[in-house]
Amino acid sequence: MIELDLQRASGAAAPDETDFQRWCELALRQRSGDSELTIRLVDEAEGRELNRTWRHKDYATNVLSFPADVPDELLDIPLLGDLVICVPVVEREAAEQGKAPAAHWAHLVIHGCLHLLGYDHIEDAEAEEMEDLERQLLAELGHPDPYTDEQPETGTARTPESNT
């Protein structure tokens, strides 16, 4: 079971908790046992500050992943980590990339959850593995490949999106 703590620190519209729960459960189903994670939805000011503090990049990014860095034996709960998602950035990217907002939200939540599991995209082989898994999970939700050059919703070209 996934225990999700959804924190809405942004006044902007975002998907409901059942969507976030479904996306997290899908991304984390390979993990045996229970997991607890927090998703914090933020505006650009908080997103920029966190990105500057933790990644030394002075802009708000779409999703930041913070895996729990505490030995399991010190916790009473199966803490996986935290995701911080900047609502205005996600909405802007979806519009700019011609993606359905729900598909982009699902992609970024899944992407962030995979980071919490240890997946990365620094090396080409790691990126390919992670992107293949994202494609598979999004297809199960009925969403198109987020890495194609053309998006079926509007036919506009895709631009790079992931800054985690």
Q: How confident is the model over 5-56, as pLDDT tens digits?
A: 999 999 999 999 999 999 999 999 988 678 899 999 999 999 999 999 999 9
pLDDT digits (tens, 9 = 90+) for 52-97: 999 999 999 999 999 998 766 666 667 899 999 999 999 999 999 9
pLDDT higher for 153 or 11?
11
Topology of the domain covering 2-140? Collagenase (Catalytic Domain) (3.40.390)
Distance of alpha carbon 37 from alpha carbon 80, whole angstroms: 5
Distance of alpha carbon 33 from alpha carbon 58, whole angstroms: 37
pLDDT higher for 78 or 118?
118
Question: Where do the domains of the chain lie?
Answer: 2-140
Residue 144: CB atoms within 10 A of its CB come to 17
The pLDDT of residue 154 is above 70: no
